[in-house]
Structure formats: C-alpha cells, structure tokens
C-alpha cells in the first residue's frame, strides 16, 4: 500500500510540478496533419519521427488531447507527458510531437506547444500537391453503380483485385478515410486516400476511380483518382443491374413466421442448415446490400442481405418478405429472396 502511494505521488509530481523539458525545435519537421497520416501509413515498425503542425484544439480527456487540422478533415490524438496551459476550444496553435510506430499504429506524444504561431506559413509548411497528375489507365476501370459494386464484392473470392469507376456524391473525410454516397443515397463507399485530393464539398457530384482488394471478410478500397468534371451516370455510360421481381421462387417452400418466433427457431437451428421463411414487416432503411425491416409492433428488427437489385421501398412500407436463413457458428445469415 505504501509503495502504491509513493508511485501515485511520483506520477502527480511529474505531471503537475516538473517543468516541461526544453526541446530542440529545429529537429521537428513541419507537416500538415493529412500528410502526417500518409507518412504514418508508410512508416516502419519502431520508426521515431518528430513533427510540428499548426492545428486547432478540439478537446482534452485526461492526458489525451485531440487536435484538428485547420480544414477540419484530420484529427490528431496525442498523449501529454506533463501539464500544458489550458487551451480554449478552437484555439489555433503549433504543436510539437513525437510519433513512434508500433506494429500497426503510431503513438503520438505532445512535446511542446506554441500558441503564438497561428498560421502554417510561420512553420514554413509545404503541403503535398493536391493537383498531382496520376498515371492510372482509366480504360482499365469498370463502370459500376455503387450498389452493383457491393453485389460484386459480396461474391468476390479472397485476394481478388478489381478496378472500378462510379459517379458518387462526396459525404465526409476523416484523415485518409474518405466517404462517398451513391446518387440515390442508399449505398456508402469508404475509401482510403494515399495522396491529397482537391477539396470537396458535401453533396458534390463527381466520378471516382478506385481499386478494391478482397481480404478475408471485406473489400479494402483505395481511391486512385477523382474527376470533378464528370457528374452524371450517363457521362460514364452506366448500365445498372436489372430490377428483380418476386417471380421465380416457390412460395410453398417458405414457412410463415412471426419475427419473434423466427428468433426461437434460429436458436434451435442446426449449423449450415438453410431454412425458408416469410414474414410481414415494415421497411425501415437500406444501406447498400443490407435491408432493414421492423415488426409491426416495432419490437423486432431484421437485417437481411440482398444478392440482387430490388425495386425501391418507402420507409414504413408494409411488405411480405421471403428469405433464407442459414446458421453459421454463432448467428443466422439472412438472404432476402423476394418481397411483395
């Protein structure tokens, strides 16, 4: 107990009493937070780098301090080793920090701050070129609708690499992660950017060129290029997959079941044994190839995967769905076969 008390006193003394150690600011490389993320992605394990960035203070949680880039698109989470002066929300300042690469991520430690520096020119910052020309062969990219891309990804074997181009609308950016939405708003594409692209506004339409690589469970998407001059699907000669009808299924094979009773059935089901059900539900929402339905009393939600395109549904629309459930080691995989 005495030893624990002494350790607590020592931590308090280091964090609250000891002055900050002086640093050699000439050893810190001026970098934009987005460019830092690119460097971090390519850093080797145990690499130690020192950076200075002009950022805006966001929030503090104990020894963890969060800053944002001046454009608001990249966050930096750094650990304090001693107390720094209080910073109001949104304050612009320069931070000096050390990055150490672990096996997969960087650990950032805040070495010093300088509130007198409030613009990037003061640290001699040069950002990576957002207009750098790419050397991609656009003819090697397959034109595809984001929903149809998800259908292809669902059936793609592990390790396969494909190239696509789609007309989308910009949604948001968080560092190297950029999210786009299909023009109908029902499918999201989350891509990794390994270089800087021109600024985009929410809802802006454009064509994106991207590479998909299937890992064990899902696709990894890399953004290769954008073209803000192309804004319609007709400009890329898009042909979407055909809308499916409920014809072609044998309705007599589907057992009528209430969603609650389906859950009971599922608990007693055998692994890899397919079962066919039909339930009358309300449509809730669509997210790519995932459809969500609710029971009439709102006490049950069902998430089903589609393997083909269906006609659009309205939120709250009451339909009878025909679906196949297959038990894996833990839960059911539900495939929507038809609805009416």
Q: Model confidence over 180-201: pLDDT tens digits?
A: 999 999 999 999 999 999 999 9
22, 108: one domain: yes
216, 281: one domain: no
User: 3-state class of 52 per DSSP?
Assistant: strand
Average pLDDT over residues 165-174: 97
Confidence of residue 53 (pLDDT cuts 50, 70, 90): very high
Residue 88 in any domain: the answer is yes
- If you ran DSSP here, which 8-state letter would residue 333 be given? E
Contact call for residues 334 and 315 (beta carbons, < 8 A)? no
166, 225: one domain: yes
Cα–Cα distance measured from residue 222 to residue 312, given in angstroms and rounded to the nearest whole number: 29
Residue 30 in any domain: the answer is yes
Average pLDDT over residues 322-340: 93
Average pLDDT over residues 292-304: 92
Q: Which residues pair with 190 in a beta bridge?
A: 179
Residue 132: its pLDDT value, please? 81
Average pLDDT of the chain to the nearest whole number: 92
Greater pLDDT, 130 or 209: 209
119-166 pLDDT, tens digit per residue, is: 999 999 999 998 887 889 999 999 999 999 999 999 999 999 999 999
Residue 130 in any domain: the answer is no
Contact call for residues 326 and 271 (beta carbons, < 8 A)? no
155, 107: one domain: no
By percentage, how much of the chain surpasses pLDDT 90? Answer: 84
Residue 245 reports pLDDT greater than 80: no
**CA 134 vs CA 118, 178, 207: distances in Å:** 33, 18, 15
Angle, alpha carbons 132-133-134 (nearest 5°) = 115
256, 327: one domain: yes
The domain boundary, picked from 178, 203, 236, lies at 236
The domain boundary, picked from 236, 257, 290, lies at 236
* Sign of the alpha-carbon dihedral angle for 273, 279, 284, 287: positive
Residue 6 in any domain: the answer is no
Residue 203 in any domain: the answer is yes
Residue 19: its pLDDT value, please? 46
Cα–Cα distance measured from residue 172 to residue 208, given in angstroms and rounded to the nearest whole number: 14
Measured in whole angstroms, the distance separating CA 73 from the mean position of its chain's CA atoms is 13
Q: In terms of residues, how long is the chain?
A: 340
Give 150's contacts (C-beta < 8 A, 6+ positions apart).
Answer: 187, 288, 289
Residue 326: its pLDDT value, please? 96
Residue 30 reports pLDDT greater than 80: yes
Residue 129 in any domain: the answer is no
What is the domain range of residue 35? Answer: 15-123
The mean-pLDDT minimum among 7-11, 27-31, 119-123 falls in 7-11
Cα–Cα distance measured from residue 133 to residue 215, given in angstroms and rounded to the nearest whole number: 29
Residue 10 in any domain: the answer is no
Average pLDDT over residues 230-244: 94
User: 3-state class of 13 per DSSP?
Assistant: helix
The total number of structural domains in the chain stands at 3
CB atoms within 10 A of CB 53: 26
CATH number (domain holding residue 296): 2.40.50.140
172, 212: one domain: yes
The domain boundary, picked from 174, 203, 236, lies at 236
19, 119: one domain: yes
Contact call for residues 164 and 152 (beta carbons, < 8 A)? no
**CA 81 vs CA 90, 115, 281: distances in Å:** 22, 18, 55
Residue 202 reports pLDDT greater than 90: yes
118, 166: one domain: no
211, 307: one domain: no
Residue 288 in any domain: the answer is yes
Give the β-pairing of 290-294 and 274-287.
antiparallel
Radius of gyration from C-alpha coordinates of the chain: 26
Average pLDDT over residues 43-61: 97
């Amino acid at each position: 107990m005495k030893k624990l008390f002494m350790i607590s006193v020592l931590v308090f003394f280091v964090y609250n009493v000891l002055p900050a150690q002086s640093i050699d600011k000439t050893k810190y490389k001026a970098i934009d937070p987005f460019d830092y993320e690119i460097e971090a992605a390519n850093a080797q394990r145990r690499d130690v780098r020192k950076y200075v960035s002009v950022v805006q203070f966001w929030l503090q949680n104990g020894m963890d301090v969060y800053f944002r880039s001046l454009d608001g698109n990249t966050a930096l989470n750094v650990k304090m080793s001693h107390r720094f002066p209080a910073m109001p929300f949104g304050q612009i300042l320069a931070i000096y920090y050390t990055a150490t690469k672990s096996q997969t991520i960087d650990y950032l430690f805040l070495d010093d701050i300088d509130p007198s520096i409030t613009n990037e020119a003061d640290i001699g910052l040069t950002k990576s070129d957002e207009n750098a020309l790419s050397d991609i062969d656009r003819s090697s990219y397959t034109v595809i609708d984001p929903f149809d891309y998800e259908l292809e990804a669902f059936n793609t074997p592990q390790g396969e690499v494909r190239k696509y181009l789609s007309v989308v609308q910009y949604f948001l950016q968080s560092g190297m992660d950029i999210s786009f939405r299909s023009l109908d708003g029902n499918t999201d594409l989350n891509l990794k950017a390994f270089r800087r692209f021109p600024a985009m506004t929410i809802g802006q339409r454009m064509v994106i060129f991207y590479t998909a690589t299937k890992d064990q469970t899902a696709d990894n998407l890399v953004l290769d290029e954008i073209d803000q001059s192309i804004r319609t699907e007709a400009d890329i000669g898009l042909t979407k997959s055909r809308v499916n009808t409920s014809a072609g299924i044998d309705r007599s094979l589907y057992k009528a079941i209430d969603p609650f009773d389906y859950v009971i059935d599922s608990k007693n089901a055998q692994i890899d044994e397919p079962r066919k059900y039909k339930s009358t539900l309300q449509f809730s929402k669509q997210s790519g190839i995932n459809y969500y339905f609710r029971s009439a009393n709102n006490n049950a939600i069902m998430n089903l995967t589609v393997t083909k395109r269906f006609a659009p549904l309205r939120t709250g629309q009451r339909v009878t769905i025909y679906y196949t459930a297959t038990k894996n080691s833990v839960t059911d995989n539900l495939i929507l076969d038809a609805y009416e």
